[in-house]
Structure 1
Amino acid sequence: MALGYKTRKRLSILALVVWLPIYIVLAVSLTNWFDTRFGRLPIWGELLVYIVLGALWALPLRPVFLGVGKPDPDAPNEK
């Protein structure tokens, strides 16, 4: 079942406003827990962890974000 344009647009806004802040808090909390449990990583290791976590949040939401920035394909042409 393919999502409609308006549904994808609404879900993408919801993901950016709700899911992304929650994910950021979880990622930082996980990293801080790792630091207290096993010791701090070298700076390049922390950078690598934050780069991976920074890209990882969008992978499950990729189908929602596809085509959202383009004009609505279902809208009537106004020419």
Structure 2
Amino acid sequence: MALSYKARRRWALFILVIGLPLYIVVAVNVIALFDRPPLWVELAVYVILGVVWAFPLKAVFRGVGQPDPDAPPEER
């Protein structure tokens, strides 16, 4: 079942305000469990983790910035 436009907007907002900061905290804490790697390895891990979170959520964010396609057209 596909999400409605309003549901996708709500989920996108929830993900950006709540989920992404939690993801960042978890990523930093997981890296901190190990001995600190060289700077370039640490940077590469953070860049990869910074991109990877978006792929499974791409469907939620697609078209959120566009006008509601289900809204009735405005009368002029």
Q: Would you call these one fold, judging by a TM-score over 0.5?
A: yes
Instruction: State the Cα distance separating 1:58 from its structure 2 match.
Output: 1.3
**CA RMSD across the alignment:** 0.9
**Structure 1: how far apart are the matches of 2:70 and 2:57?**
22
The 3-state SS of whatever aligns with 2:3 is coil
Point out where structure 2 has 5 or more consecutive residues left out of the alignment. none
| Identical-pair percentage | 57
Counterpart residue number, 1:59: 55
When normalised by structure 1's length, the TM-score is 0.88
Aligned residues: 75
Residues 1-12 of structure 1: pairs in structure 2 closer than 5 A = 1-12=1-12
When normalised by structure 2's length, the TM-score is 0.92
Point out where structure 1 has 5 or more consecutive residues left out of the alignment. none
- Which runs of structure 1 show a deviation greater than 3 angstroms over 4 or more consecutive aligned residues? none
